[in-house]
Amino acid sequence: MDFSLSTEEREVRDWVRTFVQRELIPLEQEVLRRERAHQPGLTGEELKALQLKAKESGFWGVFTPEEYGGMGLSAVMAALLEAELGRTFVPFRFGGAADNILFHANEEQKQTYLLPTISGERKSCFAITEPGAGSDAKAIRTTARKDGTDWIINGEKTFITGGNEADFTMVFAITDPEKGANGGVTCFLVDREAGWKSEYIDTMGEWGPASLIFQDVRVPETQILGEEGRGFELAMQWIGQGRYLLPARAIGSCERLISMAIEHANTRETFGQKIAERQAIQWMIADSGVELEALRWLVLNAAWQVDQGIDSRHAQSMAKLYGGQKANEIVDRVLQIHGGMGYTRELPIERWYRELRLLRIYEGTDEIQRRTIARNLLKGHVKVGGVLG
């Protein structure tokens, strides 16, 4: 088994690492200052400027197929890039991206929605979660009623990432109550001008999701994405597009945090000794180092399965569950090693503490991942020891 990176993979990874070090990490103090003043960490103009700077070196649409002007990188490469971006909390993402299900658009829809999203002219959001239907996506209550050649949408979506900034949404609604999720849910492309409204949701972290309100929002039949009644399949495709990328980003965060803990332990003295000589500190760093490496291989194995065309849902659930659990334990230990200073806002540890807590909730809670993993094992979909295929 060869775990080494190819020359190209190493060069791509190293470029992103350098970009993060030179362009993003120097912005951290200003980002923290703005966030504490309840302002965006980066303005839209600043984000775009950084994206264009990356584009000059070819980093545009890193996951977008080459036929649409992207890099079309592999899943393993995507995981490596996310890990590098995770080394900072500056809210940067590469430009040139679009939700995977937008590629199911017809030619007219691609001109109106897909291509402008890839170019950065438009912003989208994915809207399936509802106040009474979080992890249970099949329990959605938003409806779309046929009226001539139009559909009238009523309902509410919640915790929608990018919902406050989006120009249009991919909203999922019940179009045939008798069929339910399997054949009765349809996805609609709905412009903000059609009449839906967004409301900001304040959270303990810097993630600012939205509630989307649909009250008699009328859309033409031509706005259906994919096929009528096949929306739930699209939703599952979106949700499963890359669950491994979430814990991948946590890898970079944990690498940076553990490095901070090591530096502090080798500097801080108590009772005449550096705390690095204390067994309690040594064990916290040792456990964190082991868990980080275990997480790295869970993520890379899940990504490798994606590249090989293997059904990777089980491996991705394992990576997501372990990543959420261990990233939170690691940041807690790092805070503990720093003592009172770790609890202050003078250091960015508390910022990561709040951010990483979200990893155990969104895009599939810990409990949902455990349910999925247990069901796969108990029903024989995956055999014990069969994660590697």
The number of residues making up the chain comes to 389
For 168, the token pair is 């249009």
Closest C-alpha among 299, 358, 241, 312 to residue 82: 299
Q: What number of helices (H) and strands (E) belong to the chain?
A: 14, 10
Rounded CA gap, 135 and 266, in Å?
43
- Hey, what amino acid is at 359? L
Kindly write down the DSSP assignment for every residue of 108-175, as one continuous string: HHIIIIIHHHHHTS--EEEE--BTTBSS-GGG---EEEEETTEEEEEEEEEEETTTTT-SEEEEEEES
Burial 301-340 (b: 16+ CB within 10 A, else e): bbbbbbeeeeebbbbbbbbbbbbbbbbbbbbbbbbebbee
Identify the three-state secondary structure at position 77.
Answer: helix
Catalytic residues: 363
Start-to-end C-alpha separation, the chain: 14
**β-sheet bridge partners, residue 210:** 160, 200
Q: CA of 296: how far to CAs of 131, 185, 354, in Å?
A: 34, 37, 22
Are 337 and 261 spatial neighbours (Cβ–Cβ below 8 Å)?
Answer: yes
